[in-house]
Every structure is written in C-alpha cells, then in structure tokens.
Structure 1
Amino acid sequence: MAERVISVSGAPYDGHSREAALESAATLGFTHFEPAFIVGYTEPFDETAFTPSEMNSWRSALRSSGLSCHAMSSHIDLGFEDSVEVFTGRMAFAAAIGAKVIATNAAARQREATFRRNVETILRRAEAFDIIVGLENPGDGSDSLINTARDGISLVEEFGSPFLKLNYDAANTASHRPDMDDLAGDGILALPESAHAHIKDVRETDEGWFFCDIGDGKVGCERLLAAIAKLDSLPVSIELPLRLHRNRQAQPVRRQDPVPLSTIEDSLARSLKVVRRALNHNQ
C-alpha cells in the first residue's frame, strides 16, 4: 500500500520567497509541497508565472529542497471563453513539475453552459497530461456550481471521467454557506468522489472567518480526518492561509505584511502533528 501523501500548501507562506518556503517545509518534515496560485490568497500573478523558464525554476527548487509535488492549486472560473486556453497552460505547468492533481474552482452558476463545453475539452487535455482536475468548492458566498458536497458529487458523476474529481475543502464552506451546521459531515460526504482534500480550520468572529491551527476551529477536523484515515491513500494538503481572513461578506482580506516565518512554522508544525496522528502516519 502506497504511503499517504501529506503536502503543505504554499498559501501559508504568502509573501515569502519560494526558496524560503521550500526550505521551511522540508525542515518541518513535509515531503511534498503544493504550489498555490490563487487570486486573493497570494501575491498577484499572471500567466507569465507558468512559462517554461518558471517551470524549470520550480523543478530545480523542488529538487534542491528534496521535496516533491503531488498537487498544485491554480483556481480559475472554468466558465469563461478563454478558460480552456488558460487552464491548459496551467495543467501543462503542473504536470511538468510532478503534480498528479490540479485544483481549481468550477464556475459561477451563470456560466454553466460555457463551463460544460469547456470541461469536455479540458478533460481530453487532462488525460494527455495524465493529471486529475480537482474541482474545489469556493468560500466567497457566491452562487457556484459547487456550493456544497452534493453539488460537487452530482457534477463529477455526471461527467463520469477519471480525470475529473473533487478537491473538497470543508473550511471554505464555513464562509461560503454560513448556515451549514455540519461542515465536517459535508466534507466527509465528498470523500468518495475526491482525488485530494485540503485540510484547514477556521474560527468565526464578528469580523469574519479567521484561519487557525487544525483542530482549533469550527470545522470538526478530527471527524473529517478520522473518515479520511479509513481511505487507504487519499492525499491531503495542509492549507493555512494565515495572512488573510474572510470578512462578513466572505471576501478575502490580506494583511499588509507577511506573517513572520516563525509564526507560520509554529502553526504548521502543530497542524502537521494533528494530521499525522489522525491519519496514523508513521513519519
């Protein structure tokens, strides 16, 4: 049985260099790093982040750090006219640096027709790249094609492709659908159709939703992780975007300054310990 992959997302390291993030992740004991290209979560970027030269830089940096890449987050709305072209470039980049899963949002419900046309082409190209598209539920309160696990399950089952699965994130649902009473239960429901899962936790205050150490928030990560532990090899990634929170309108708000590296490492170390213990990980 293959050992379960536990990655760390690049999101916690927002504002720090790639090399600093990779060195930190390796020092903490992670074996896999998930690059994160998420508008609103990380430093601004454009498609020049996915050029062949950047691809080679990432491959070199990963190799130097001793880390591998199993998943990459690169969220876009797949319902725009140019989404196929944009996402094809990102799939090529992800596959070239070793990723087997690329996470993205689906689309706003108003763009459903274009999304469905686009996905047919995207899945043919995903097969050529041998990479799974992991649809992730958003956290911004909008009306998406995936607002809850049931939405995602229905969408994935409808296409019936081994290259289209879920990358469900139960913590996103906290701000996306604040009336959801059982966040962990929703996340557990998504697991059979998931190729990967983001693990993070969140506290709710009068100012919005603030990300915190895994196990210290309202998601119910212990239950979710216990369910994941029963699945032999579902890969997960610890994603703690400590630099931002979501306001009461569920919009991301980034702090002006990066979170100190020592603070990031303390939070990740505690969270990794919780995840490993829950998943009976032997490292």
Structure 2
Amino acid sequence: MTRQVSVSTAAYDGYSMDVAIAEIATTGAKWIEPAFISGYVAFDESIFCEQEGTRLASRLAASEVEALAVSAHTDLGADGAAVALRRRIDFCVAVGSSILITNSSDCHHPTQCVANIEAVLPVLEQAGIVLALENPGHGTDSLLPDGAAFAVLLEKIGSRFVRANYDIGNAFTYSNEAINVLSDLRIALPYCAHLHVKDVTADDHDWRFTAIGDGDLRYGAAFDVLDTLAPEVPIGIELPLRLSRPGRGDPSRRSERVPIHEIRQALSRSLRTVNGGTRATTR
C-alpha cells in the first residue's frame, strides 16, 4: 500500500494561502495540509465556516491538489471548545478533508476535554470526519505527552472518529530529547489516523527547525517502523522554518518571513527524504 504524504502550509508563514498552495503544487505533491496553528501562523477564528471552506476548496481544485487533513488547533479543555470544534468540522467538510487535527488540553482538564469531544461525536460521525489529537512540541503538563497517554485517552473515548495525530518531532522536543522516539512511536501507532514529521537540530543551547532528514531525529529508522507497522497511515510534512526555539523553550516567531527560495530548498530535501524513506504517493 502506498502512503499519502501532505505538505503543511505552515512552511509558508507570512505568505498568502494562495502562494502556499501554488508553491506546494509545483513540487508534484497531491495533498496539502492547510494549517491554522496559533503561534505558528497568523489567522482569524472567523475563517472556520462553510463559506470560507468552500472558497479554499475551489483554490485547491484550481491547483489540482486536495486537503486530506486540516490542522486547526484549539484547547479542547476550554469553555466553548465544543462550539469551536463544530465550526472546524463544518470548515473541513466544505474543504473536502476527512481529518481534523487539533491539540488536546493540559492534564488539569481531562474531564472537560473528554466532554467537549463527546459533545461533537455525533457531528463527526455524520460528517465522516476523524478528529486527530496531536501531542505538543513544547510546554508542560500536557494531557498527551507520549504514546502511552494516547492509549489511555483514546481507549476511554472508544470511537474510530477520535484518533491520534502523532507528531514525531514534537515527541522529541517536548521530552527535551529524553524520550525514545521509536519505542514511543510503536506504542502510538495503533491509535494513529495521521502522523506529522518535523526535524530539529541543536545549535548550542537552542533548537533550529530544519528540512526533514537534516536534523537530529533518526527518520530512516522511523520510516522503517512506519512501513512495517502502519504503511497506510498518512504523513504530513511540517516545516515551521520561521520559528526558533531559544534555550529549547517555547517557539519564538521571527519578525521576518523565510525567503521563498529557502522554503523551496527545505521542502525539496524533505520530500526526497520522506518519499525515499517510505512508500509514498505524489501525483
């Protein structure tokens, strides 16, 4: 089975969505992951409506690409999260995506997080949308710090419409490089509907985001695990090149956007790494 590989528009922070779509389409990629992630890119909550989703679907179709997944993060433990999720589901339906990616919450609000998810389960089921919860790359006290936590939460919810988006790079940085990523990936994979890959390298006391394969993560070994245990799970390439991690702390967004030629080079190297390391499909 060949694997679907998307490219996140987060790489093009500071550029318009039209530029991101056109740039990604020129690589031969068939799938694009529109990204609306606070701290990674600037966006307005009002975008999450059917009308804007339909507009985005038309722009994707014009470039002959599709959105398999949409990243539209919100705190699921917060008041009003169920309403925010419903807006995002409507947006995904209009875009034509089948996977909605979001973070969960912190470990202090598990009951509210589960209640908000369960409140939208009928909507997810009717729409045929999978809610894919993502492990974070920074901060503390996450409800989903690792694969074992995914197993506990998703077994509790018990729905095929609520799964994991395991981010390999996030696991590495959230644990401050302490986690055995390959072992943790094996634990998470049975619960995954989607995966994210990003890469970082250490610059003295900082982390710097790089093209996939240029950093400190062992993606060759990770792709071996993926092809053996989960050859059907789609991958989204994230290149948050505008962000830095000073002191290996929270992401800091640089004032200047990354020059487009640097994004092209990093994306080209990333696609070679991913498509060479896993049985992936493009156009």
Assess same fold via TM > 0.5: yes
Match of 2:278 in 1: 279
Q: 2:131 aligns with which of 111, 130, 133?
A: 133
Give the SS at the match of 2:47: helix
Q: Distance in 1 between matches of 2:58 and 2:279?
A: 32
**Could you say which residue in structure 1 is the equivalent of 2:23?**
24
Q: CA deviation at 1:183?
A: 2.2
Q: Quote the residue 2:241 is aligned against.
A: 242
Deviations 1:147-194 (A, max 9, x none): 111111211122110001100012112221115242233223211110
* Corresponding position of 2:5: 6
Structure 1: state its 5+ residue gaps. none
1:220 corresponds to: 218
Give the equivalent residue in structure 1 for 2:65. Answer: 67
Give runs of aligned pairs for residues 66-85 of structure 1, distance below 5 A.
66-85=64-83
Bigger shift: 200-209 or 229-238?
200-209
Amino acid at match of 1:151: A
1:262 Cα offset (Å): 1.0
- Work out the CA distance in 1 between the residues paired with 2:213 and 2:187: 19
Deviation of 1:86 (Å)? 0.7
1:282/1:64 CA distance change after superposition, 3 Å = closer
- Other structure's SS at 1:273 match: helix
1:1-283 alignment to 2 at 5 Å? 1=1, 3-43=2-42, 45-230=43-228, 231-248=230-247, 250-281=249-280, 283=282
Native 8 Å contact 1:14 1:42 kept in 2: yes
Larger displacement relative to structure 2 (118-127 or 252-261): 118-127
Question: Which one is further off, 45-54 or 101-110?
Answer: 45-54
Measured in 2, the distance between the counterparts of 1:141 and 1:20 equals: 31
Stretches of structure 2 that go unaligned for 5 or more consecutive residues are none
Is the 1:22–1:65 Cα contact (8 Å) retained in structure 2?
yes
The runs of 4+ residues in structure 1 deviating greater than 4 Å are none
Q: Quick one: structure 1 residues 204 and 186, their matched pair in 2 at CA, closer, same or farther if it must change by over 3 Å?
A: farther
SS across alignment from 1:73: strand
The range that moved more, 262-271 or 120-129, is 120-129
Q: Is contact 2:207-2:248 (8 Å) kept?
A: no
Task: Look up the equivalent residue of 2:149 and give its one-letter code.
Answer: D
Q: Which amino acid aligns with 1:205?
A: D
Contact map agreement 1:149 1:187 (CA 8 A) in 2: yes
Query: For residues 75 and 281 of structure 1, what CA distance do their matches in structure 2 show?
Result: 26
RMSD: 1.5
Which residue identity lines up with residue 116 of structure 2 in the other structure? N
User: Once the 2 structures are TM-superposed, how far is the Cα of residue 75 of structure 1 from its aligned partner?
Assistant: 1.1
Supply the distance in 1 between the matched residues of 2:168 and 2:273 (Cα, whole angstroms).
17
Deviations 1:220-257 (A, max 9, x none): 11111111122231111111110102233631101111
* Distance (whole Å) between structure 2 residues aligned to residue 225 and residue 111 of structure 1: 34
SS at match of 1:69: coil
Amino acid at match of 2:173: S
1:48, distance to aligned residue in structure 2 (A):
1.1
Give the secondary structure class of the aligned counterpart of 1:15.
Answer: coil
Secondary structure at 1:109's aligned position in 2? Answer: coil
The 3-state SS of whatever aligns with 1:135 is strand
In the alignment, the residues of structure 2 paired with residue 179 and residue 281 of structure 1 have an alpha-carbon distance, to the nearest angstrom, of 27
What SS is found at the alignment partner of 1:110?
coil
Distance in 1 (CA, whole Å) between partners of 2:277 and 2:48 is 35
Number of paired residues? 281
Deviation at 1:68, TM superposition (A): 0.5
Identity of aligned pairs, percent? 36
Q: Provide Cα deviations, 1:10-55, integer angstroms capped at 9, x if missing partner.
A: 1101111111111111111110000000000002x23211233322
